[in-house]
Every structure is written in structure tokens, then in C-alpha cells.
Structure 1
Amino acid sequence: MADGKPTLAVLGGTGKEGSGLAARWAAAGYEVMIGGRDAGKAEAAAAELAAAIPGANVRGADNAAAAAAGEIVVLTVPYAAQQATALAVKDALAGKILVDVTVPLVPPKVNRVQLPQGGSAAMALQAALGEGVRVVSAFQNISAHHLHDLDHELDCDVLVAGDDIAAREAVIALAEAAKLRGFHAGPLCNSVVAEALTSVLISINQRYKVPSAGIRITGLPG
């Protein structure tokens, strides 16, 4: 932990969403590990971010090494790879916060809500990993379209759901570091809302021909 900031590992960090979040955290002074199935691709993605962001501390590795190095681990892989990726590094996640950005989209009908039977993708992941890992659901509704433009104001709030309040607080701090507003959205079972909203936002994008529809929480002070 440097300067009080936890080291972050972004599994799936070679993709648009993962690399965009990584870029914003690196720009905010976090040490970031880019994780990927292919260490070479992860290292290349990290080098690209480091070159684009002055002073950034970004490294790349395979998912296992990244998860071991990260104090908070962020999972940004497609839904089809969610559980396999997390379970493969389960031992490295013990005692840590795992931020699940997964959206249960089922192509080709990604504009239709298709939640897993009995709950959300985040709930299923928590059940698979066990109580030793604190799963927090967040960032599903943030479009990757403008993430790499660090000066762009992202017009979307972040719903943060998890059973551990302290873990939610840590993830809200990450949202703020990425120049977003994060809000406590209650226990992990409430993650169904953010997961389902993604398909709704995709439908809005398609209908109104925009790239990044988002949500705002209103009525709060400040």
C-alpha cells in the first residue's frame, strides 16, 4: 500500500472497461496491476497506460499474479468467464475485497434483462467463493466509451452493493478516485438492480443513438 492507497488488481484489464477503470485509478495515484489470461497482452496494456499517463505506476501480469499482488481485486471479464476467472484465483482472493463489475448479458439479446436464476451474478459469485472473500458489486452501469478520456465528466453514478459496509466504503472511495459518485445501494442481493439496469441502458443507447446513457441519484444533499 503506497501513500495509503491500496494496490489494485484489475482482472480482465486488457478489455475496454477494465483498462478504462485502470487508467482512471492510475491517474489518481493508485498502483495498478493489469491482469489477463495472457501475461504478454497484460504487460503490453500496462505499458500503454503507463506511457499515456505521466507518473502512472502500472504493471501487467497474468490473472493469478495480479490477484496475488492486489489488495483490492476488480473483476471486469465477460459474464461467461466470470466464475471461472475468479475461482482460478480463489486462494489469492482470501481476505480481500473483490469488486465484481460483471453484467449477466447473454448475446445476442443484450438489451434484454437475463439475470441468473435465483439472484444476481454477484450473488452467485459470492456463493461460489465463500465467506472468505468480500464480494462488492459496482461499476456495471458505467459505459467504457469515455473512460479513457480522463478529462471527460462521466454522467453516471455508481451503485455499490455488498454485505460488508466497510468493503462498500472502500469501493465508494474507488468510484470517487475515478471521478464518479458512488452510493451505498445496500446488501449484495440488491446488485440485481445494477445488473438489470445495464440492459435497460443498452436499449436506451440503441433507441436514442447515444454511446453512454447513465443513471443519476437525485434528492440527496450536496
Structure 2
Amino acid sequence: MSTYRIAVIGGTGPQGRGLGYRFARHGHTVVLGSRAAEKAVPVAEEVAARLAGVEGAGEVTGAANADACAAADVVLLAVPYDGHDELVATLPLAGKVVVSCVNPLAFDKQGPHGRIIDDGAGSAAESAQRIAPDATVVGAFHHVSAVTLWGDREVIDDEDVLVCGDSADAKAVAIELARSVTGRDGIDAGALRLARQLEPLTAVLISINKRYKVHSGIRISGLSGHA
């Protein structure tokens, strides 16, 4: 398995912290990014302490967002959608694989629902690609619960990571990174525009979680050889 230097933008939030923990647990070097380094450092120390004694674990540090990106091979966007475009525009992303797990959601009296991006012809991942045209953006890790990511299971082997993108090479990176979470390759779910369906699907899982008091995930059946 390849090892990467991964910048997690939004690394102090539950999703970013959980994914950073999973990546570092499986040997990747992780830099948790935040708007201010002094916010990222204690969260990185918390993750590093959790990894104490884990053989082969990667280093975890904290930095300001732009500094976290600077030396990274892969940049994971794990930030709220509000302010997403403005933040992405400030990051040095050229030449990097950018993995977006951003879920543009809204909540009202009826519960969670997906926000409509660009009149239905866009998604957070596509917005990131438009803003950072010299990066290669894929969508992945939208549907894994932050609670499950931070849990004690070695791998979350009853779920799949769905990966969408327009570059086969960039998708291959995210598909491989999925092994750090589920213990097996992610699933190539098609073109980047399918993020328009994958991102709001998270609202369905949140609704299920609330009704059944669980941390639900997605598993794809019928794929031969995908154990």
C-alpha cells in the first residue's frame, strides 16, 4: 500500500478528526488543518495520543490550513459547506489530489435535506474543481459516520466508500485510501458529477440514524471479488 502525506482541511471537526485518525492509524502522515494553527495543534495531539502504541502509525501534526496543504500529496476537504468556496480559493491546491467529503446539507422542521447547488447542476466537489482548476478533485468518504470513524473498531468492514471523479489516477488514490477506513478498496462510483447524488444522500443516512438511533452506513452488494 502507498503512503501519503495527507492534509485534512477541517481536521478539528468530527469528520476530519476521525478520518485523520484512520489514515494515520494505517501509516499515512497526517496534518490536521484549521484556520488557526493553535486550534489544530491540540486536536492533533489528541489523535497522536490515541495512536500511541499502534504499530506502524503515521505522524499526526496540526497547522494552519495553507501550511497543512503546502507539503501534502493529498488534501482532504472535510469542512462545512457554508464558507466552502471562499476557503478553497485560499488554499494552495495546484498539482494535488483533492478529496472532497463535503456534504451541503440543510435542516428544517421536516429534518435534513440536500441543498441545491448551482440550480441542481453542481455539487461541493464540482465547485472545488472549478475554483482550483489545477488540482484534481474526487468525491469520497461522504457517508462514514464521524462517531464510527473515532470508534474502536480496527476497520469499518460493513461499509463501503464510494468514490466519484473524472481522473482515473486521482480516483485510484481515494480508492486506496479507503482501505484505511473499511479494510478494502473503495468503489469507483463514476464521474465527478455524481457527487450531486452522493453528497445529499448523507441526509438520508442522518434521517435513518435519528429514527433508529444507529450510525448507519452504505454497503454495495453484487460486486464479485470485493470482499
Could you say which residue in structure 1 is the equivalent of 2:88?
86
8 Å contact from structure 2 (residues 161, 182) kept in 1? no
Q: Kindly indicate whether the alpha-carbon contact (under 8 Å) linking 1:35 and 1:42 is maintained by their aligned counterparts in 2.
A: yes
Shift of 1:148: 1.4
- In structure 2, runs of 5+ residues without a counterpart are none
* Aligned position for 1:209: 213
Task: Name the structure 2 match of 1:188.
Answer: 192
SS at match of 1:79: coil
Q: Which deviations, in whole Å up to 9, do the C-alpha atoms of 1:109-132 show, x marking residues without a partner?
A: 6622223122222112211222x1
Cα distance in 2, alignment partners of residues 11 and 180 from structure 1 = 23
The residue number in structure 2 matching 1:50 is 48
Mapped pair 1:149 → 2:148: no
Distance in 2 (CA, whole Å) between partners of 1:71 and 1:150 is 27
Secondary structure of 2:163's counterpart equals strand
Q: Moved runs in structure 1, 4+ residues, more than 6 A? A: none
Per-residue Cα deviation, 1:168-191 (whole angstroms, up to 9, x for no partner): 000011111223541001110111
Which amino acid counterpart does residue 221 of structure 2 have in structure 1? T
Q: Normalization by structure 1: what TM-score?
A: 0.91
Q: SS in structure 1 opposite 2:102?
A: coil
Is the 2:88–2:131 Cα contact (8 Å) retained in structure 1?
no
Partner of 1:113: 114
TM-score normalised according to structure 2 size: 0.89
For this pair of structures, how many residues does the alignment match? 216
Specify which of 114, 134, 137 is matched with residue 136 of structure 2: 134
Deviation string, structure 1 residues 60-91 (Cα, Å, up to 9, x no partner):
100010010211000101011321221111xx
Contact 2:159 2:218 in 1 (8 A): yes
Rounded Cα–Cα distance in structure 2 between residues aligned with 1:70 and 1:123 = 21
2:166 maps to which residue?
163
Q: Is the contact between residue 113 and residue 200 of structure 1 (CA under 8 Å) also seen in structure 2?
A: no
1:180–1:138 CA distance, 2 compared to 1 (3 A): farther
Shift of 1:107: 3.6
* Match runs of 1:51-66 below 5 Å: 51-54=49-52, 55-66=57-68
Structure 1: state its 5+ residue gaps.
none
Once the two structures are TM-superposed, the CA of residue 4 in structure 1 deviates from its matched residue by: 4.5
Alignment CA distance shift 1:150-1:24 (3 Å): farther
Q: CA deviation at 1:138?
A: 0.6
Give the distance between the partners of 1:85 and 1:73, measured in 2 at CA: 13
Q: Is 1:11 matched up with 2:9? A: yes
Residue number in structure 1 paired with 2:127? 124
SS at match of 2:164: strand
Q: Which residue of 2 aligns with 1:98?
A: 98
